Amino acid sequence: MGMDTDSGLGNGYRYRYGSWYQFLLGESDIGQNRAEASRRALAELNPRVAVVAHTGELSEAFLASFQVVVLTESPLEEQLHIGDFCHARGICFIVADAKGLAGQLFCDFGKHFVVDDPAEGDPVCAAVQHISQGNPGVVTCMGEEDSRGHLFGDDDLVMFSGVEGMTELNGQEPVPVHVLDAFRLEIGDTSSFSPYRRGGLVSQVRLPKVHCYKPLRQALAEPQIRVASPEELPRSRSLHAAFQALHAFRGEQGRLPLPRAPADAERVLELARSLGAQQGPLEEDVVRAFASVSAGDLCPVAAVIGALAAQEALKAITRKFLPLDQWLYFDALECLSLEGAGQLTEEDCAPRGSRYDGQIAVFGAAFQEQLGRQKYLVVGAGAIGCELLKNFAMMGLAAGPGGDLTITDMDTVALSNLHRQLLYRSSDISKPKSVVAAAAVQRMNPSVRVRAHQNQVGPATESLYGDDFFRRLDGVVSALDTLEARAYLESRCLRYLTPLLDSGTEGPRGNVLAMVPLVTKPLGPAGGPRDGTFPLCTLRYFPRTIQHTLQWARDEFEGLFQLPAEHVNRFMEDPAFPEQLPAGKALEVLEQVRGSLWEWPRDWRGCVRWARRHWQSRYHDAITQLLHTFPPEHETSPGVPFWAGDRSCPHPLTFDPDNDTHLEYILAAAHLFAQTHKVPPCSDRAAAQTILRSVVLPPFVPQEGLQIPLAEEQEEVQTPADHRWLAELTQDLVQRKQELVGGEEAQVPLMEPIHFEKVPGARQAALLSLGGWRAENYGIPPADWLSKRIAGRIVPAIITTTAAVAGLACLEVYKLVWGCRDPSCYRNSNLWLSDCLLLRYQPLPPPTYWYGGREWSCWDRLEMQAVSADGQEMTVQEVLDWLQRTQGWTVTMLLRGHTVIYDREEDEETRTRQRAQRLSENLEGAGEPRRRELELYYVCEGEDAEAENERPPLICSLP
């Protein structure tokens, strides 16, 4: 694949203001060739990828060697010439361009492009309950989740497997289905088949699809444009004409239109009129707006278009997912509808010799100063967080006087992060993410005032992230990996009227949601994609669902057959490996290496014995230890059982060599263990059973005082390394290495790491049964084959999605910084990169409700200064009087959370005491920390039952 990197998206002509939307470049690169400077930065991202800079002409001889050619910000003449060449040679050709607040993407993958895997996710599959004998036969099946039915569509091709009785269907060529209802499908003639008995799976078969593309020259005149809805087509056609007109304007003037220059914008419109007549009426306001800011450079727009283009390049290489057919236009021109934005002049947007001139060309110099004064909190520095921070650095958010950017993340950098979290490098492994990310932001833009925290934003840290902290913020951006954490953050932003932008991804899908105080509805329950997995303590000790046990099974696999082999190979090949390990991880990794070297199997018998010991360790001993630490009758406090609510009390399992599923696991695990150690395997089941019956394991003795974390916050607590013990351990390992090698050079590599995705299906299914046994440990309903597919559907974050999502979120940041209160300017976004589809829509307005005879918004609250005339904290009676005086409400109950402050149903003596107390007296007695603000809950006389959970909160500011 070939791609130039001479500007934000790539090489080519430019009359642009500023180039600091190019995050790969720093001030030290000024004056250097951008392709070469970018090459050095790109090479650091992955040392295994060869990155070559080409600064010469894009000759046909040079282009002929590539599978994919991507042109960015290239003159139309060059696009047409190279497009013709690539189309004739069968080279996949992509054009990506960003101008101001709009972007353009074009794909030509040739006359005959075969897509091997056109759809996202796994093929549809369902368990068979019954198949009738008839013409047509009727298949009754169960759905994948909660028996809500199958997901097949009319004319889907399916195959059958595992059917008992009507075995003629097994392995038959794919047949089309007709959907009768949510649980029934019609197939072909089954009248002559044997009667159905039981079991079986019906699975969708996806056949390759062939696509035929027009060359660019033809596609310009006959555009096929991808839109999310038919209503968007006129706008996209207008942008199609506008981009061509911009090329023509540049041909006339030798430059792009000057920012906010009416004469230039009108000339572009004139040129577009001549081009747009063949494709329908022009939306002239769209063309004018586009032209007026087309000289600008905005890193969020470049991020969106660059991510879409990168995903299309991946489709060209992998032939996975449907490629774009053929044009896509993206714009955020709604930003120009911000109050006052339309009145910006040429002078406001003229270049200042600043790194932000490309942004000033769109929003003006005063707005850039406002960006620099922002105080923002970014929660999470993972895949999305890295992309957000990269954009913030380029935008200059918090880079001026009074600005402040706080990053908080409890996690440390891991090796698996490096494929999608671009702020981190191999040398950062085991370092705090927030600290490394903050340093990266400052390298990109030394002016940004950034602080790194390593805290969770939650109830336990409200002393740090409390009233004063949230009230000073201009906005919060969440890049969290759990819905629970996001819900808490949303509640805090609701309380303090703080804008919140939330983003999530799952593979090629992503979304962005904007929560603007007084303008939009709160985020509410989320079912969209998230960037993350389950807390470790849940997976290790307290699983609740089959998803938990299957994720645990995947983690087990990696810890048994992949990571140990990789670590052993590095130790055997590199004498300096122990010294290269981070201090916090050295002991753990070297002990893992020692375990692998000391338990080295001599033969197949040793592999079977190892698998038996492992089964005993996981399904009997670990559960016995957990029950020793927390017995079934254990209580967290008197009368409160430990094993209740989210915790299911487990029970140990007993191994049975005559149990077929137990034996299948032993054989699968032993085969993989043998493969990693390069020991010849054996498939004799009877021999394996004989070995298993001879295994005698000592009785398990639980440890006393073993600490088991009960919450995610308690996990991964690292103790300082004992350097003397590390030295002794390293020496032991060197000695063991010599014993294994026998004075000769070690076989390189010594072990074979195995990745789960590369394991044969039958063995993979057998190994996933360990998730089912763990479910049995905890009384979780067992997983059928369909549920086990969840483990294969765990989709990691991919950087193309996270880059696009972050760009979309940062476009909303512009509106927040502008102080926009017009809901029509904001956009929520849903993204499907697998289909190159982007849906942006206006957030819903805040919901309202009636209480106390008037209408309230969800953002409304009652605020009072709870200070008596003597300067002391108000009494409860004074608060009751205030509500009666200002609202006309007679309060019958006043609470803080679950603590009752006043209850009219109590006896007279209790009521008198309650009314006389200061507001926080009861709370301090209940163990709550002293607060400057209290949010109180109340019940009023005569209120409707419907008002149970709908009333404006009462915020009391204490002295």
Q: Which one from 86, 107, 537, 682 is the annotated catalytic residue?
A: 537
Q: Where are the beta strands (DSSP E) in 401-547?
A: 404-408, 450-453, 475-478, 500-506, 509-515
CA dihedral for 186, 187, 192, 195, sign (positive or negative):
negative
Q: Which amino acid is at 95?
A: V
In 3D space, the residue among 484, 549, 934, 576 whose CA is nearest the CA of residue 780 turns out to be 549
**Residues for the chain: how many in total?**
959
Q: Is 71 in contact with 94 (CB distance < 8 Å)?
A: yes
| Residue 956, CA distances (Å) to 22, 232, 517, 874, 875 in order | 48, 48, 20, 9, 12
Region for residue 340 given its phi and psi (left: phi exceeds 0; alpha: psi -120 to 50; beta: otherwise): left
Look up 107 and say whether it is catalytic: no
List Cβ neighbours of 750 (8 Å cut-off, separation of 6 or more). Answer: 568, 569, 572, 740
Alpha-carbon span 858 to 721, nearest angstrom: 52
Alpha-carbon span 837 to 329, nearest angstrom: 10
Q: What are phi and psi of 102, to 5 degrees?
A: -140, 155
Max CA separation in the chain (angstroms): 96
CA dihedral for 107, 108, 112, 113, sign (positive or negative):
negative
CA dihedral for 240, 245, 247, 250, sign (positive or negative):
negative
Q: Which amino acid is at 685?
A: R
Alpha-carbon span 792 to 142, nearest angstrom: 20
- Residue 28 has a CB neighbour count (10 Å cut-off) of 8
Q: What SS3 state is found at 70?
A: strand
Q: What SS3 state is found at 122?
A: coil
Alpha-carbon span 946 to 944, nearest angstrom: 5
Q: Which amino acid is at 283?
A: E
DSSP code, position 542: -
Q: Is 550 in contact with 791 (CB distance < 8 Å)?
A: yes
Q: What SS3 state is found at 939?
A: strand
Alpha helices in 430-558 (DSSP H): 433-444, 467-471, 483-496, 536-540, 546-557
Residues pairing with 125 in the sheet: 203
In 3D space, the residue among 791, 931, 816 whose CA is nearest the CA of residue 873 turns out to be 931
Q: What SS3 state is found at 714?
A: helix
Active site positions, annotated: 537
